[in-house]
Structure 1
């Protein structure tokens, strides 16, 4: 398990401010759902946790240490688009994660090491319900099965943090329900910290122990890129938490332009 701390993080692209002043602590083992309108910085936030992008300002730490400059094995990720190797069968798609970890130059294992890795890969396929499809190629799998394979790939490196970027958005309702029934037990059994971006509020409330809502509390119609998104709701969805599922706290009140001007002026 791992603790994530985000302190006064900003993300800017030139003159465009995407996120501003984001600060929060994520406890080890939490399942955090992240919601908000399109373009509010949800996926940007996820990419910063992954290490794909660096904050313009502020700091993000994992277990007290700053994140390295690139993604690492301590953080797994599953995207909406199935990120599997089409030229490898199901078993090979999971096995290659162990091969890269133990043999980064050749990506091949032999003898006892390969046997041990194969046993681990087979156990993961059993956990995600793909044992019967081990020798199939991704093109022969349904969308839900491909996403199960992507989850198995991500779990192969035993990450401390699992990042989910709208992982079930392309699935039909029935298959999505099956994926919900899959991911929750895996999260509990492995004690991971999970951060999931979703546009589905029912999914966010149903899976998460905590919900973060991103949006822009301040808007300048003349310069829409001047202000970025912040966390406007932070709800504890755990049964014994202080905030009940439907107990929304007050949102941050948007500042008017006159208030912003007054706030930014130096004191006399």
Structure 2
């Protein structure tokens, strides 16, 4: 279980401020839905959580320690585009994370360690409903199955934090609902903290225990570079928390009612 604290985080590229003064604290085991218009910095924030980028100002703490400025096994990620290796079978895709962790140079295990990795990978594939597809290549799988494979690939290392960047946006509604249920079950079983970027409000409220919106509060042309997006809405899905900065006329507030 992992607690995340975001303290006065800004992200600036040259003269363009993307995010400003982001502050919130996340309880261990939360499922956080990040919403807001395109270009408001949601994916930028996710990249900072992953360690791909560092805050320009402020800091992100995980269990009281400043976030490492590079990706690490305690953070898994699933993108909208299926991030699997096309030349490897489903089983090989999932095993690869365990192999690289133990043999970073050769990327291959042998003997007892390989057998243990194989068993763990098969169990993970079973947990996402791919027990009958372990020897299939990604091209032989449907879009929903490929996304389930990407989830298995991200979870095999047992990350403390899982980052989802619009992972279900390309799926048909029926398949999306099925993958939603798998994701919720895995979240409960693995007791992870999850951050999910989505443009779908119904998805945000269905999956998240908390919905946080990023948006720009200064939108005049002369202000667009100097000021970035900040937290404009923060709601626990059970309705127990509405911070004072939430405007009464917020469209997200109306959607939540």
Q: TM-score under structure 2 normalisation? A: 0.94
1:43 aligns to what?
43
Give secondary structure in 1 for the equivalent of 2:6: strand
1:31 aligns to what?
31
C-alpha RMSD of matched pairs (Å):
1.4
Aligned pair partner of 1:251 in 221, 225, 246: 246
CA contact (8 A) 1:165 1:198 kept: yes
Cα separation, partners in 2 of 1:97 and 1:5, compared to 1, 3 Å: same
Unmatched 5+ residue regions in structure 1? 254-268
1:5-61: CA deviations, max 9, x gaps?
Answer: 110000000110000000111111000000000000000011101101100000111
Tell me the distance in 2 between the aligned counterparts of 1:178 and 1:211: 21
State how 1:3-14 maps to structure 2 within 5 Å.
Answer: 3-14=3-14
Q: TM-score under structure 1 normalisation? A: 0.90
2:253 aligns to what?
none
Give secondary structure in 2 for the equivalent of 1:222: helix
Tell me the distance in 2 between the aligned counterparts of 1:248 and 1:180: 28
Following TM superposition, by how much is the alpha carbon of 1:248 offset from its aligned partner in structure 2, in angstroms?
Answer: 9.0
Following TM superposition, by how much is the alpha carbon of 1:219 offset from its aligned partner in structure 2, in angstroms?
Answer: 2.3
CA contact (8 A) 1:80 1:169 kept: yes
1:211 aligns to what?
211
**Which structure 1 residue ranges, 4+ long, deviate > 2 Å from structure 2?**
219-223, 247-253
Give secondary structure in 2 for the equivalent of 1:144: helix
Tell me the distance in 2 between the aligned counterparts of 1:19 and 1:252: 19
CA contact (8 A) 1:33 1:208 kept: yes
1:107 aligns to what?
107
Tell me which moved more, 85-94 or 212-221. 212-221
Following TM superposition, by how much is the alpha carbon of 1:168 offset from its aligned partner in structure 2, in angstroms?
Answer: 0.3
Say yes or no: does 1:80 pair with 2:80: yes
Following TM superposition, by how much is the alpha carbon of 1:171 offset from its aligned partner in structure 2, in angstroms?
Answer: 0.6
Unmatched 5+ residue regions in structure 2? 249-257
Equivalenced residues, count = 248
2:136 aligns to what?
136
Give secondary structure in 2 for the equivalent of 1:61: strand
